[in-house]
Structure 1
């Protein structure tokens, strides 16, 4: 029918018939579609009936529909068919497993508990008969097709053979060495189980059991012979080699998986034994013997990796590489001082990477390279603590600034660093940096057809790592050599200059999203190096001015030369911080106290304000924020002295007002300047011991309010906060603080009346500033006046009453939460509509 519909459609597309003929054609096709729909519905009903009555005979399909395609309709599920065999099969497996477990328990109990009740002949005859019968039963069951039953009886049969070995030792050879007998018994059992499983190929248990039993003969034999640790290592390694052979040439997935797991366990244990002995060896000859063990283990692992699947080959290849490097490096380690041992292993890793760099087409080679990479990464981790000590050690100078420049660089490091073991750190970092640089310059080697972007990404990461580690090596080198203080400081400044040069050169004209890895690394390392050398320069006054002055010039020049906006902002911020340090040093050099040197820092803030006018670009906010940080430091320094704090607040207000001249900064800086001026006035009044602040604030408030009224007349859309906020706050806030400490009634009364009038005026003329300031002051004054009475009432109430009232209040608020939320929104909207 589908072909008819398609044919009709094609005919219609090729030739448009007359309307009457087209209508008849459509009617015929609709009738055929309805008939097909009825057939499908009948088939669906029949299938639902089959699913609902699977246990009953199938009802006849009505009206003899055409048979559906074999791929479309599944065969009906009949009783006893495959669809109903799952549940009985699961139940059967459970019953068989429980039966086999019970037989095993019974055999163990008979052997261990009831053995002594029978004579030697009877005991041997019973156990041998049961064992023979248990071993023969699976073969008979397999011939009759009862594979599950045979599998369940195979487990007790194998356990019985173990009990036979135990009985044989207890009765026939009680005087023999138990470990030696166990080793021989394990070998016999492994061989017998392997032969039994090969003969009965359909059984899945005997061959994996034979693989497990094969792990013990050599190990128990070494134990019986009281072998050395190296002997145990060889026993484990030979066992792992045998397991590898089973993995490669064994038949059956179960035995190969079991042998593979056993090979991993025994092989890793053997390599650990060799590694421990190699590391603890005190001479080259004593390191050769475990080295041979490690090399043979590496050969076994590499042989297995060469023929294994990719994921297993990578792991085995990595183990092979680690074992080979441990073997050779363990011998080389004995020829160098103790602290240079990491260099010996690193050299082995570098040589191995150089040899196999072009032989990584197979997963095994890639695994070996991964092992070499692990050794390289480990050596870097060993070399990083000295670098961290050089970066963080001078922090102790923060508590002893300008105590005098030491002769040697190590004297400036306050941390207890084992300098004797530090000599290898710069060598390790330099070698790894060279390896990464060589990887960056070499042609990418990898999987054929790999995307070019991945190779480019690897080369960029290698170059970035080379730069970072090379910088670390040069940073640690003066401390490792215990160079002079001046030379070490100069070297670190030169390093910062080089990093800035790399960053500026690599980021010229490039957008931030396409930063090269090298330039990005230099961008991070340069400020870190500047911070380290800056703290190191605090040992002497001359070094502080020289270092921070040079750093200021370097970062300012980098900010000018950089073409990326974000990079320019970073460099500009660091330059401003260096200028703040220079200004702070100037105050200390002039002999000023901490609070007296606070205004000196504001010189840097003033310069950043002027630069904000000059720059007028995206870098301007970063510069101004850095200058604002200097102002915050100045305020913190002036806190101990209220007069100087008032002065610094006023100067900050002047700088904020100067910033507010710019239209784009007017809104924020204008409010900030007003707040700073008022804070300066309040602090000055407190510092002067003024008890009547209104005498000083009202002469400011009245003209300020007059100016606000004139401002609103000229600009009706202006905010009430701009027009009246500073003037009102100038008097209300100091008066509020004075009222809270005043024991008389006159000031709170006058302040409350004034706040009430201001609040009413704000509500009448819809002025937000008057309403909020007046209402807030009125509420606080009222709270202050009612507080004593509230305390008295609270003391007279029972202790249970306040929690009860609080609970009732919470219940009321919770019950009317939505209504209160709507009221709050209305209040917010009403305040928002005010000026």
Structure 2
């Protein structure tokens, strides 16, 4: 027999033991400190140095360095001297004429050009740079003075071109002679950009000749950049080469695109080809700009060759010509070129393809969205052709080759699939799929085929895209493409299929027969695809994760199940549309169509019971249940029909509630639907005494609830008694709210009070909440007139005062709760 001590005694024993342990621990710590002092040698005492007298604060560091000050002074001096020289030459100086000023200026220029050599010998490099820059400015002024004195009648553009050529040559020689100066050679390169273009303008040359002048200047810049040793001059030459060459190619490209004949396009085309050759040569010889040079070369060659073909064919075929010329660049993949140059040529081809696809996109948008514009003319008769069916005049003769452009672009992406890096392959395959689908979709409109052909083409493209989306997930196809390609490819195919399905559905609304056939075909496609994906979704096990940690096969299986659920939901939507179309053809009124539509929720409930825990079951049931809302909308305006629809929806929900996994949600929904159906039916019958109809329902419902609670003690009071009580209390409350007599509110209040008391006695939540709520609302209805009178008699300051008291009470309660929490925390802290 064990004697268990009382809590107070056990607590005293624990406190005693803890105190003993603490005392022993203090003794051990003291011993440890003593032993450490024995083992550690004493540290020598170092005398602290005496504090030195406070020193004066250090001098503030200068904000600028001497070289910066020197350069600023030299630059400012050079600028001021240049301004003075310009004023001396252009304006005047005293009574000197232009000849005298020219002589003085020439002398000063010679001195300025010679001075840097002397300064460099004395290692005054910065000063030499400033004086050298001033000398360059003075030579420009000398050229101006020479024009005013000796050649006043010369052509300004021609003289400027000659002067720039002489100055560029002179500055280049000066810079090579005094190679330690960094200004003359870059200035010579910049000045050398002007002679050839200015001579072309002075001679009244055409735009092609002007472009040739720019291109030759760019070639000279490339040569300077390649062979000049001074870095500033090389950098300037590289920039000016891109500017001059790019300007020349832009002018030639514009002339090629707007040429009126092949001969007119051949002139700028020759320049474009020459520019392409120069750019490709630069791409091969200069690795740093290989990609950009090859890109420019590819685009220039494409514009040149396509421009010669463009004037001979309609514009739509000219786009095909440009596209084929751009596609020819892909042959450079096997050429012995640097890798960056190959990438540049491929990018140029991709740019051409992108521009062609953008040109064709309006036709695709018209084919997809056009049927929406004629949706108001449902079953008005078959149109004369595909263009009339879509109702959008896009200038179709100019877009006749849009399908061919899209098809060629898709083929190019498919051919490039194997040569692209692994990261780009999904995009290439998805793009090829989308472009091929778009090419077939837009074909009837581009060729203005018949209406039936347009609908059939829409169904074929939808079926083809859906087949690709399903085939990508079949076990036999997973081993062929790379696993990382499957998600993007299958998603693109499915998006194309669904987009095409929506478009062809709108297109088929012109005639009854076409509508029925199209909706039936789409229903068969969706159902077949969903069934086919069932094998793909279950082939890789039960892993449903789609995160980055899942294997490719698991992600593919998850995607297949998602596609299957989506297709099942679309099959339900298509079924509803087909039923409505058939009923409309039969001439059924709206309220009868609503009853037919209710077959979809019933079938969805049966299918869900058959599929049970399949991933498709819940989405299908929810989509089918949404058809009930459509049935209510069709029955609106006839209360008796609305009541019937609500009752039938309640039957479907009650049948669904027989399944254990759907019982909680479906049971509550069934009860609510039955109650709503009862209310609507009573309203439709102009019933003034709803209790006569609701009480016969409430009594057996409560009896069933009692039996349910006896057989299943875990059953909720809401499930057992909620529907029965709500069937009478809520309609009676609605009737009492508009009743001016006292008898019904009194009877309802007594019944609600009884229900509330029973709920409080038996601790049943449903009875307590329903009874209390009805009693409160019924009492509020009866006391409302008196409350209004009392509120009107109260002084205006009373409501704010009551609100203030309420806030004070809430604040005090909040503070008390905080104090209680603080004391609890302190008590827990004192515990050991």
User: Do they superpose with TM above 0.5?
Assistant: yes
Match of 1:394 in 2: 371
The structure 1 residue matched to 2:531, chosen from 560, 571, 580, is 560
Does the CA-based 8 Å contact 2:640-2:684 persist in structure 1? yes
- By how many angstroms is 1:651 displaced? 1.9
Distance 1:713 1:508 in 2: 53
Root-mean-square deviation (Å): 4.2
Residue 522 of structure 2 is aligned to residue 537 of structure 1: no
Distance 2:807 2:251 in 1: 71
- By how many angstroms is 1:386 displaced? 1.2
Structure 2: which 5+ runs fail to align? 1-35, 538-560, 822-832
Match of 1:64 in 2: none
**1:140-151 residue pairs with structure 2 within 5 A?**
140-151=118-129
Distance 1:403 1:279 in 2: 45
**1:682-701 residue pairs with structure 2 within 5 A?**
682-701=679-698
Residue 552 of structure 2 is aligned to residue 575 of structure 1: no
Does the CA-based 8 Å contact 1:583-1:604 persist in structure 2? no
Structure 1 stretch 285-294 or stretch 733-742: which is displaced more? 733-742
Match of 2:581 in 1: 585
**1:399-798 residue pairs with structure 2 within 5 A?**
399-440=376-417, 444=419, 454-455=421-422, 458-509=424-475, 515=486, 517-562=488-533, 563-564=536-537, 565-616=561-612, 617-705=614-702, 707-708=704-705, 711-712=708-709, 714-735=711-732, 737-738=734-735, 768-769=765-766
What secondary structure does 2:598 align onto?
helix
Does the CA-based 8 Å contact 1:499-1:522 persist in structure 2? yes
- By how many angstroms is 1:321 displaced? 0.5
Distance 2:743 2:90 in 1: 103
- In structure 2, the CA distance between the partners of 1:602 and 1:90, relative to structure 1 (3 Å rule), is farther
Structure 1 stretch 630-639 or stretch 807-816: which is displaced more? 807-816
Does the CA-based 8 Å contact 2:190-2:236 persist in structure 1? yes
- By how many angstroms is 1:184 displaced? 2.2
- By how many angstroms is 1:325 displaced? 0.7
What secondary structure does 1:515 align onto?
helix
Match of 1:369 in 2: 346
- In structure 2, the CA distance between the partners of 1:118 and 1:573, relative to structure 1 (3 Å rule), is same
Structure 1 stretch 742-751 or stretch 402-411: which is displaced more? 742-751
Distance 1:101 1:117 in 2: 25
Match of 1:217 in 2: 195
Distance 1:821 1:528 in 2: 60
- By how many angstroms is 1:776 displaced? 5.7
1:91-138 deviation line (CA, Å, top 9, x unaligned): 544454444444444444555555576433552344345444544454
1:584-614 deviation line (CA, Å, top 9, x unaligned): 1122112123344122222122222111112
- In structure 2, the CA distance between the partners of 1:582 and 1:140, relative to structure 1 (3 Å rule), is same
The structure 2 residue matched to 1:229, chosen from 207, 231, 254, is 207
Does the CA-based 8 Å contact 2:99-2:149 persist in structure 1? no
Distance 1:664 1:231 in 2: 84
Distance 2:333 2:413 in 1: 15
What secondary structure does 2:589 align onto?
coil
Match of 1:6 in 2: none
Does the CA-based 8 Å contact 2:426-2:485 persist in structure 1? no
- By how many angstroms is 1:323 displaced? 0.5
- By how many angstroms is 1:278 displaced? 0.9
- By how many angstroms is 1:458 displaced? 4.3
- By how many angstroms is 1:774 displaced? 5.7
- By how many angstroms is 1:579 displaced? 1.2
- In structure 2, the CA distance between the partners of 1:542 and 1:193, relative to structure 1 (3 Å rule), is same
Match of 2:302 in 1: 325
1:462-485 deviation line (CA, Å, top 9, x unaligned): 443333222222222222222222
- By how many angstroms is 1:541 displaced? 0.9
Distance 2:488 2:724 in 1: 55
1:233-284 deviation line (CA, Å, top 9, x unaligned): 2222222222222222232333222222222222222111111111111111
Does the CA-based 8 Å contact 2:387-2:393 persist in structure 1? no
- By how many angstroms is 1:416 displaced? 2.1
Does the CA-based 8 Å contact 1:248-1:304 persist in structure 2? no
Distance 1:386 1:332 in 2: 24
Distance 2:506 2:816 in 1: 57
Match of 2:3 in 1: none
**1:794-805 residue pairs with structure 2 within 5 A?**
none
Distance 1:800 1:789 in 2: 20
- By how many angstroms is 1:781 displaced? 6.4
Distance 1:176 1:675 in 2: 101
Does the CA-based 8 Å contact 2:425-2:485 persist in structure 1? no
Distance 2:585 2:575 in 1: 15
The structure 2 residue matched to 1:295, chosen from 268, 273, 289, is 273
Match of 1:180 in 2: 158
Does the CA-based 8 Å contact 2:284-2:337 persist in structure 1? no
- In structure 2, the CA distance between the partners of 1:198 and 1:408, relative to structure 1 (3 Å rule), is same
Does the CA-based 8 Å contact 1:598-1:638 persist in structure 2? yes
- In structure 2, the CA distance between the partners of 1:486 and 1:174, relative to structure 1 (3 Å rule), is same
1:678-722 deviation line (CA, Å, top 9, x unaligned): 222233333333444444444444544554455455545444433
The structure 2 residue matched to 1:203, chosen from 181, 205, 211, is 181
What secondary structure does 2:152 align onto?
coil
1:131-151 deviation line (CA, Å, top 9, x unaligned): 445444544444343444444
Distance 2:810 2:169 in 1: 80
Distance 1:706 1:718 in 2: 14
Residue 361 of structure 2 is aligned to residue 384 of structure 1: yes
Structure 1 stretch 354-363 or stretch 791-800: which is displaced more? 791-800
Structure 1 stretch 112-121 or stretch 292-301: which is displaced more? 112-121
Q: What TM-score results when the alignment is normalised by the length of structure 2?
A: 0.79
Q: What TM-score results when the alignment is normalised by the length of structure 1?
A: 0.79
Does the CA-based 8 Å contact 1:248-1:307 persist in structure 2? no
Does the CA-based 8 Å contact 1:183-1:218 persist in structure 2? yes
What secondary structure does 2:590 align onto?
coil
Distance 1:690 1:647 in 2: 17
Structure 1 stretch 724-733 or stretch 183-192: which is displaced more? 724-733
- By how many angstroms is 1:542 displaced? 1.0
Distance 1:534 1:404 in 2: 15
